[in-house]
Amino acid sequence: MKRVLAGGSLALALAVALGLGAPALPACSTERDAGSPARSVTRLTDPADADASEPIGQDLLVALAQAKNFHHKAKVYMTDGNLPAATAAVRQILSLAFPRGAPEADDVRNDARALLAKLLISQGQLDEAARTVAEGLAQSQRESFFVANLYTVQGEIHEARATALDASDPGKSAASGERHAAIESYDHSIQINERLQKKLMEER
């Protein structure tokens, strides 16, 4: 009988403790303030959030270091006059694996595309250069100074086409169209730069 009573008292104790603790469970998943919106703990990270909260990790540094080495390698080839080898070295930057959602990845790739396009221009491969720039603009998730730089290089490509058209058939309207396209590209670049500079000034 005493054992039954002891077991019963223990069960009663646990029931009291659980009864007091039960109201705390909903508080773990909801906001206490009624004014603040309730947020799900399973909410996925938005790419915009990653811009300001993902700590720098070793994987990001490794990717940046590899990009840096390929750029230096390309620079040596350019100094040596070996533009195809320099182009190949820069292309390898585009296939580097960056941490998912790292904003630096877009910047580094766009910068590599700009250099790649300039190398292709200098080798007379204007269509390939234009394709390289167009791919970079299409894949960009946000405006940046690197995107603006891509528009600048796009303008240079249009200028190079206009020059080539002038040389092959002077006075043709196609060259004029390329020049207009170049101006549009430069305007895009200028507008992006202005917006970003204004934004940075406001943040400071």
Partner 1 sequence: MATQDDDTLTGSVPDPEAEPTPAELAHARRFAELVDKTLAGRTPPAMSADDRALLEVATVIRAARGQLELAPARQRAVVEDALRQAIGAEPSPGGSVTPIARAPARRWAPWVVAGASTLVAAAALLVLWLRPAEPPGAPIGRATVPAEWTSRSADALIGPIARDRAGDASARIDAIFADRLDGFRARRLARRGAP
For partner 1, the binding residues in 112-131 under the rule CB under 8 A are 112, 114-115, 118-119
Shortest reach from residue 119's CB to partner 1, in Å:
8
Binding mask 94-113 for partner 1 (x = CB under 8 A): -----x--xxx-xxx--xx-
Taking the least distance from each CB to partner 1, the nearer of 45 and 176 is 45
Place of tokens 């300001």: 52
- Judged by CB under 8 A, does residue 41 bind partner 1? yes
> Which of residues 99 and 177 has its CB atom nearest to partner 1 in the complex?
99
How many residues bind partner 1, per CB under 8 A? 73
Site residues for partner 1, window 138-157 (CB under 8 A)? 142, 144-146, 148-149, 152-153, 156
Residue 41 phi, psi (nearest 5): -75, -10
Contact 115, 74 (CB under 8 A): yes
Length of the chain: 204
- Amino acid at the residue 32: R
| Spatial contact of 83 and 115, defined as CB atoms under 8 Å apart | no
Residue 162 CB contacts under 8 Å (≥ 6 apart), including other chains? 175, 176, 178, 179, 182
195 near partner 1, rule: CB under 8 A: no
Q: Which two tokens stand for residue 38?
A: 């309730």
22, two tokens: 């039960």
Near partner 1 by CB under 8 A, which window of 131-139, 160-168, 169-177, 192-200? 192-200
Q: Contact between 4 and partner 1 (CB under 8 A)?
A: no
> How crowded is residue 154: how many other Cβ atoms within 10 Å of its Cβ?
26
| 74 near partner 1, rule: CB under 8 A | yes
Least separation in angstroms between residue 168's CB and partner 1 is 26
Cβ closer to partner 1: 41 or 173? 41
C-alpha separations of 98 from 106, 138, 142 in Å: 9, 19, 17
169-188 residues near partner 1, rule: CB under 8 A: none
